Amino acid sequence: MGSRVLCPACPGLSGCCGSRCPRGGSTVGCYSPSCLTLITTTRRLCILKGIYPHEPKHKKKVNKGSTAPRTFYLLKDIKFLLHEPIVNKFREYKVFVRKLRKAYGKSEWSTVDRLKDNKPTYKLDHIVKERYPTFVDALRDLDDALSMCFLFSTFPRTGKCHVQTIQLCRRLAVEFLNYVIASRSLRKVFLSIKGIYYQAEVLGQPVTWITPYTFAHDHPTDVDYRVMATFTEFYTTLLGFVNFRLYQSLNLLYPPKIDGQADVELKPAEGKEYAMDSESYLEKLSALSSSLARVVAPTHEEEVELDEFPVEGETAEQMDARKKEQEALEKHKKLFEGLRFFLNREVPREPLAFVIRCFGGQVSWDKSLCIGATYDVSDPSITHQIVDRPQVQQQVVGRYYLQPQWVFDSVNAKLCLPVADYFPGVLLPPHLSPFVTEQEGDYIPPEKLKLLAMQRGEEPGDANEESEEEEEEEEEDSNDKEEEEEEDESEKEEEMKLKKLEEQKTQSNKALPVTVTAGKLRLEDKQRLEQEQQSEEKRLAIMMMKKREKYLYKKIMFGKKRKVREANKLAAKRKAHDAAVKEKKKSKKAQRA
Amino acid sequence: MAEPCPSSGSEELTDSEGSAYSGLQDSGSDSSSSDEEEEQEEGPGGGSVPRTRAKGAPRKRKTLEDDSSLEESKALLAQNEYEEDSSDEEDIRNTVGNIPMEWYQDFPHIGYDLEGKKIYKPIRNKDELDMFLEKMENPDYWRTVQDKMTGADIKLTDEQIDLVQRLQRGQFGDVHFNPYEPAVDFFTHEVMIHPVTNRPADKRSFIPSLIEKEKVSKLVHAIKMGWIKPRKPKDDTPTYYDLWAHEDPNSILGRHKMHVPAPKMKLPGHEESYNPPPEYLLSEEERLAWEQQEPAERRLSFVPRQHRSLRAVPAFPRFIHERFERCLDLYLCPRQRKMRVNVDPEDLIPKLPKPRDLQPFPTTQALVYRGHTSLVRCLSISPSGQWLVSGSDDGSVRFWEVSTARCMRTLPVGGVVKSLAWNPNPSICLVAICVEQSVLLVNPCLGDKLLYGATDQLLESYVPPEEERVQPVRWVTATAEEHGRGIRLLVQHSKAVKQVTWHGKGDYFASVVSDNSNMQVLIHQSSKRWSQNPFRRSKGLVQCVLFHPIRPYFFVATQRYVRVYNLLKQELTKKLMSNCKWVSSMAIHPGGDNIICGSYDSKLAWFDLDLSTRPYQLLRHHKRALRSVAFHRRYPLFASGSDDGTVIVCHGMVYNDLLQNPLLVPVKVLKGHALTLDLGVLDVLFHPTQPWVFSSGADGTIRLYT
């Protein structure tokens, strides 16, 4: 996205497109200058209606000859805002606030009550429908909505925005998580230093969102929370409707209800009531440990074999590939099927519970940690216990004690990784981003290579050896190169000698120390000659390029070269690092000996 | 005033018999304080002191503890409680008032009494040890407090301690106060049959109220006018429903036709991981560089970090910022559809015929002609292609045999040779050389003796006309000594000559004088020893001139234009725009329809005279200024020499078919000349018959490429 251009002028909603900007027949050519400090209503309207500025084709023309940076809106867009029925609602609200303030000032409490009863409200349903005419459109734009809702749901209940908004955000976020669990549509997870990225495939659309780590926020002062709140207002509406539709598509009840059996299980056994049902509803839901009630009772039908409709022009190979992909996807969905996890106190409960449940695993935690724990630490059927402390004092035989990264790495690798690298206190292997797909010529970290080999079904040990062999080969290669270089140098020396001789011959004919030296047979490398010729041809052709094409060509080549340079740099860094690690190991060994 | 205090039993009235009424904390009487003390909280703080005092003197004390404890004595003092209310009656021995007593820390006294005399601190000679001993030995040590006003020690009584403890527990100070008195129901909850009072109802309770009527009518009016709205019924529709139940993919608003959906956020790479591979971590220099960059310039908005385990990962401090910036991007960033050029760079390279198919052309350096000691400015070759002549800044002209690189003759001319030209007529052996202000016509006496003898005869056969004509130059016959060196004629100009060129027939030649006047270009006829000035007016600084090989045209290149004159009609036929800043050299295709111009701004312009007056193609092959250009007489080749030390040979095919444009393909870059004084190649020249090219350089050599 380009740089943000702001202008100091501040036209209001009504006056902005009247006299100020050129009136013309074409709607596209008319721009209305505007800026950051729009009056609040206009700003809110722009946010809600999704109106954004446009970059004019001829900046000078629309800006009266000046090239100063200004923001330009399409005149049509601003007119479009004026026709929005919600503008009247905003005005009503303004009047309401004024009346209320007056009544308060006069201490007319009955008036205050009456006014409060008739508080004007507005709905954004029609705007959602207008901005996203189809459901798929809405899904495509869900990333920001989800990220924002997840952020707002972690805000404290005081200060920055209304409590209702925070609660609503939390509810919608939890509902969405529950949908993802129920539909098993999570695909990728990534622990970054910013937060946790999730990617789910909802009805064929990739939806990515980020959640912050659960810490108290250090609220910055240079952020306008009103802008964020306005966005959130729209996003909550959108997400609510999307959730409704998604739940409907899975035959789930909306608002979600916890499945009857699970509900019973969730109730604490020792008659001590935790809270009233209505109060603990959201908490139970956000525990993510129980399945949801369906409109139609689920019949445990066997998986229906999907009929296959061969697409025209598709070869058998393509069909096979597609089938294989489908199978892999099904397998990925059942990654943790049959595994029982237990989360220790110190690991982040919600993300782990979410991820494990998304892939069919069962999960529980300490009862004191959160509501919804289904089994105890001492349960013998637990297969994996997620631990994030240097060592575990009392280990139970029959289960793996693993660091949380194992879960995320396994999900990204689409297979249960070997557990040995993830034992508590062990130096973890790097956590790689699942969003990177390396293309030809890009740098691929060795861990990724190993992983790819593993996915292809090779033994990890073999891969190691192979890589070592490769390294050796590389070393040999480099030796070869060096030799070649030496040869080159020798050739050059010869040339120098020849030149000297030539000069002597031409310049000093008087002294004639005629000595005949045996000529050396020089082998001409045909391939090399060929290559040289080709490269020269290319150079000559580049000379003949047109100016514009040459510029483009140079730009492309520059980009390519930069990419290669960066990849080389990374590779060199890795090599240096590995060498340093080896050195350290050696020195340690030496010390021991 | 002096009121005997009914003290509670257990305490002894040690201080004075008259202290009927003293502060609670007085070691003497304890609970016998009164309300007044509450009012005097603002009096000097600190504990009161047990003191002896005048009999009957009213006592007033501040209590050490809270005054509320005194309530219990209230009852006892029911009578005459205001008797000693006046504050001036107070016996305040220390008059400093309610001040922090540490102000008197460094003084020997602690305040002033009523007479203004200093009250001295009690002599204390207790050191730490004494204190400790007292602590260990004195059983009452724990209940001893120091009065700050007087510095004396006070021992608290049991009562006082009891009070303190009760207050600490949050109980009432008064022991006898019962907070749980049984509630007395003054009005029973049961409905009685009789009214409480027997008063008859007022008359006004039967008359409708006017005020109320007015109020009601106001409300009614407001409702009628719609100022007051009746309570809205609750909206029962659910908040969320299936919004896209009847979705119509075609119902896209007109506005959305141009809609540019917001681009998604960039997905994170390996470097954003909490535990990235080690090569993605920044080294020390990279981190410093990152810090020094402007936030907008940074390629990464964060520093990659490695954490040992998930529990060590802190919160990201800029999380809210990033979301906010995303919001701003969404509604303040102008959106634009940018077409990404997705071309293979190889496709951009034009498809040209391979140089191999365009042979012959010079490819390798064959010979180097050494001998000149300074830069070789100009070259020329005999029409037979056997002899080469070169002029240099060292003031000599050398004649070379082409095939052997042997210097046949050296002719010192005593000046910088700017230009020279061999007569193109194969039957005449004559070279025109520009030296300072004159053009020398030299017979090199090389090759066939008959031929150069005939040339000499031709020159000597000149008969001067009867009447002397006025000429812009002077024709001088060479002296005997000069004749011996080969010089035959001298054409002496008024100014320095910079270029000379022959007409194809070999009789006429043109010379260019570095001048600003109309005398810049002169055309000479060697057989008649006659010169003329073809131009009446100067059209700018002439760079070079050229005769058309076949037709009677004459090309004059000024700084930016090339003018074509018809010599027969004596008129300007064409003016070619070179699109260059400064033309340096010019050459004409042997066919006569195409011209190339080299310029000092490293461009080569190819003109097709039939096509237009603008260049057909502008070639930017060289990196620096072009010094000379040349066409081959037979092969479709042309070459350009430049200051960057290279000679570029191009294939320039001109077709007879007028509809087909010339084909220009660079075929070879020839390198060999060393750069001296920022000059590379000064002149290029093709062999008349072979596909060979000569180049003379600033390094004093001439090179032959074959």
Output the CA–CA distances (angstroms, integers) from residue A471 to A458, A574, B168, B487, B497, in the order listed.
19, 13, 80, 76, 71
Residue that is last in its domain, among A395, A411, A433: A433
Q: Among B64, B115, B669, which residue's Cα sits nearest to residue A537?
A: B669
Q: Which chain B residue is nearest to residue A37, measuring alpha carbons?
A: B332
Give me the residues of B, 593-652, that contact A with CB < 8 A: 619-621
Angstrom distance (rounded) from CA A583 to CA A586: 5
What does pLDDT average to over chain B? 79
CATH code, domain carrying A354: 3.40.50.10190
Q: Specify the pLDDT at position A307.
A: 57
A144 and A233 in a single domain? The answer is: yes
Length of chain B: 706
Partners of A133 on chain B (C-beta within 8 Å) are 247-249, 251-253, 256
Bridge-partner residues for A191, per DSSP? A196
Count CB atoms within 10 A of the CB of residue B393. Answer: 18
Please give, rounded to a whole number of angstroms, the shortest distance from the CA of A300 to a CA of chain B: 27
Whether A279 is covered by a domain: the verdict is no
pLDDT at residue B694 above 70?
A: yes
Residue that is last in its domain, among A84, A117, A150: A117
Please give, rounded to a whole number of angstroms, the shortest distance from the CA of A269 to a CA of chain B: 32
Give me the residues of B, 658-687, that contact A with CB < 8 A: 664-669
Angstrom distance (rounded) from CA B523 to CA B555: 12
Report how many Cβ contacts below 8 Å link chain A to chain B.
279
B339–A contact, CB cutoff 8 A: no
Q: Specify the pLDDT at position B252.
A: 57
Query: Cβ–Cβ of A193/B332 closer than 8 Å?
Result: no
Q: Which of A194, A346, A556 to mutate to test the interface with B (most CBs of B within 10 A)?
A: A194
Q: Which of B228, B287, B318, B333 to mutate to test the interface with A (most CBs of A within 10 A)?
A: B333
pLDDT at residue B5 above 70?
A: no
Partners of B262 on chain A (C-beta within 8 Å) are 52, 141, 144
pLDDT at residue B394 above 80?
A: yes
Q: Which of A540, A565, A568, A575 to mutate to test the interface with B (most CBs of B within 10 A)?
A: A540
Query: Is the dihedral angle over the CA atoms A64, A67, A73, A76 positive or is it negative?
Result: positive
Whether A226 is covered by a domain: the verdict is yes
Give the ipTM of the model, two decimals please: 0.81
Question: Pairing between strand B497-502 and B508-513?
Answer: antiparallel
Query: Cβ–Cβ of B231/A118 closer than 8 Å?
Result: yes
Token duo for residue A32:
């209305």
Cβ neighbourhood burial of A112 (10 Å; 0-12, 13-18, 19+):
middle
DSSP A512: -
Partners of B345 on chain A (C-beta within 8 Å) are 553, 556-557, 560
Which SS3 state, helix, strand or coil, does residue A207 take? strand
Please give, rounded to a whole number of angstroms, the shortest distance from the CA of A320 to a CA of chain B: 30
Q: Among B506, B508, B471, which residue's Cα sits nearest to residue B492?
A: B471
Partners of A346 on chain B (C-beta within 8 Å) are 311
Partners of A190 on chain B (C-beta within 8 Å) are 268, 272-273
Which SS3 state, helix, strand or coil, does residue B87 take? helix
A556–B contact, CB cutoff 8 A: yes
Residues B455-467 have a mean pLDDT of 79
A160 and A219 in a single domain? The answer is: yes
Output the CA–CA distances (angstroms, integers) from residue B263 to A113, A192, B165, B319, in the order listed.
47, 21, 72, 19
Please give, rounded to a whole number of angstroms, the shortest distance from the CA of A288 to a CA of chain B: 21
A104 and A187 in a single domain? The answer is: no
Partners of A503 on chain B (C-beta within 8 Å) are none
Q: Which chain B residue is nearest to residue A73, measuring alpha carbons?
A: B334
Which of B319, B321, B354 lies at the smallest CB-CB distance from A537? B354
Output the CA–CA distances (angstroms, integers) from residue B254 to A27, B127, B257, in the order listed.
12, 96, 5
Q: Specify the pLDDT at position B359.
A: 80
Domains: count for chain A: 3
Q: Which chain B residue is nearest to residue A249, measuring alpha carbons?
A: B242
Q: Which residues contact B46 (CB under 8 A, 6 or more apart)?
A: B62, B64, B101, B147, B148, B149
Q: Rounded to 5 degrees, what angle do the CA atoms B603, B607, B612 make?
A: 125
Whether A337 is covered by a domain: the verdict is yes
pLDDT in tens, B532-549: 888 888 888 888 898 888
What values do phi and psi take at B90, rounded to 5? -55, 140
Which of B252, B334, B666 lies at the smallest CB-CB distance from A5? B334
A100–B contact, CB cutoff 8 A: no
Q: Residue A50 — left, alpha, or beta (φ > 0 → left; ψ -120 to 50 → alpha)?
A: left
Whether A365 is covered by a domain: the verdict is yes
A133 and A214 in a single domain? The answer is: yes
A154 and A111 in a single domain? The answer is: no
Whether A308 is covered by a domain: the verdict is no
DSSP A345: T
Partners of A436 on chain B (C-beta within 8 Å) are 267, 269-270
A87 and A135 in a single domain? The answer is: no
Q: Which of A161, A205, A543 to mutate to test the interface with B (most CBs of B within 10 A)?
A: A543
Q: Specify the pLDDT at position A20.
A: 33
Tens-of-pLDDT digits for all 593 residues of chain A? Answer: 333 333 333 333 333 333 333 333 233 334 444 443 444 778 888 889 888 888 887 878 887 788 777 778 888 888 888 888 888 898 899 999 999 999 999 999 988 998 898 888 888 998 898 888 888 888 999 999 999 999 999 988 877 788 899 999 999 999 999 999 988 999 999 999 999 999 999 988 999 999 999 888 888 888 888 889 999 999 999 999 999 999 989 888 888 887 766 555 555 544 455 566 666 777 788 887 777 777 665 554 444 455 555 556 667 788 888 888 888 888 888 888 888 999 988 899 999 999 999 998 888 888 888 888 888 888 888 999 999 888 888 888 888 899 999 999 999 998 888 888 888 888 889 999 999 888 877 888 888 888 888 888 765 554 444 444 444 444 444 444 444 444 455 556 666 666 666 555 555 455 555 667 777 777 667 888 888 888 888 888 888 888 888 888 898 889 889 999 999 999 999 999 899 999 999 998 888 77
Q: Which residue has the higher pLDDT, B698 or A307?
A: B698
A55–B contact, CB cutoff 8 A: yes
Whether A157 is covered by a domain: the verdict is yes
Please give, rounded to a whole number of angstroms, the shortest distance from the CA of A250 to a CA of chain B: 14
Query: Cβ–Cβ of A544/B665 closer than 8 Å?
Result: yes
A132 and A251 in a single domain? The answer is: yes
Partners of A102 on chain B (C-beta within 8 Å) are none
Longest dimension (CA), chain A: 127
A251–B contact, CB cutoff 8 A: no
Binning chain A into helix, strand and coil, the percentages to the nearest 5 are 50, 10, 40
Which of B239, B332, B349 lies at the smallest CB-CB distance from A4? B332
Query: Model pTM?
Result: 0.64
A47 and A169 in a single domain? The answer is: no
Angstrom distance (rounded) from CA B698 to CA B624: 15
Please give, rounded to a whole number of angstroms, the shortest distance from the CA of B268 to a CA of chain A: 7
Q: Which residues contact B541 (CB under 8 A, 6 or more apart)?
A: B516, B520, B558, B559
Whether A366 is covered by a domain: the verdict is yes
Alpha helices per DSSP H over A267-348: 277-286, 316-333
Residues B615-635 have a mean pLDDT of 87
Please give, rounded to a whole number of angstroms, the shortest distance from the CA of B183 to a CA of chain A: 35
Q: Which of B216, B243, B272, B343 to mutate to test the interface with A (most CBs of A within 10 A)?
A: B243
A77 and A170 in a single domain? The answer is: no
DSSP A291: P
Give me the residues of A, 397-416, that contact B with CB < 8 A: 403-405
pLDDT at residue B257 above 80?
A: no
Lowest-confidence segment of A290-294, B52-56, B92-96 by average pLDDT: B52-56
Cα dihedral B615→B618→B619→B620 (10° resolution):
140
Which of B276, B310, B319 lies at the smallest CB-CB distance from A405? B310
Query: Cβ–Cβ of A46/B331 closer than 8 Å?
Result: yes
Query: Cβ–Cβ of A245/B243 closer than 8 Å?
Result: yes
The C-alpha R_g of chain B, in whole angstroms, comes to 61
Token duo for residue A268:
């604490």
Give me the residues of B, 303-332, that contact A with CB < 8 A: 304-305, 307-311, 313-324, 326-332
Bridge-partner residues for A292, per DSSP? A258
Residue that is last in its domain, among A88, A117, A146: A117
Angstrom distance (rounded) from CA A246 to CA A180: 9
Cα dihedral A196→A202→A207→A210 (10° resolution):
-20
Partners of B603 on chain A (C-beta within 8 Å) are none
Structural domain including A72 reads 5-117
Please give, rounded to a whole number of angstroms, the shortest distance from the CA of A497 to a CA of chain B: 18
Q: Specify the pLDDT at position B40.
A: 41
A219 and A96 in a single domain? The answer is: no
| Most confident of the following: A1-5, A427-431, B120-124, B516-520 | A427-431
Give me the residues of B, 191-250, that contact A with CB < 8 A: 228-229, 231-232, 235, 239-244, 247-249
Whether A541 is covered by a domain: the verdict is no
A66 and A163 in a single domain? The answer is: no
Sequence letter at residue B402: V
Query: Cβ–Cβ of B229/A427 closer than 8 Å?
Result: no
A131 and A64 in a single domain? The answer is: no
Q: Which residues contact B629 (CB under 8 A, 6 or more apart)?
A: B585, B586, B587, B596, B597, B598, B604, B638, B639, B640, B641, B684
Query: Cβ–Cβ of A228/B368 closer than 8 Å?
Result: no
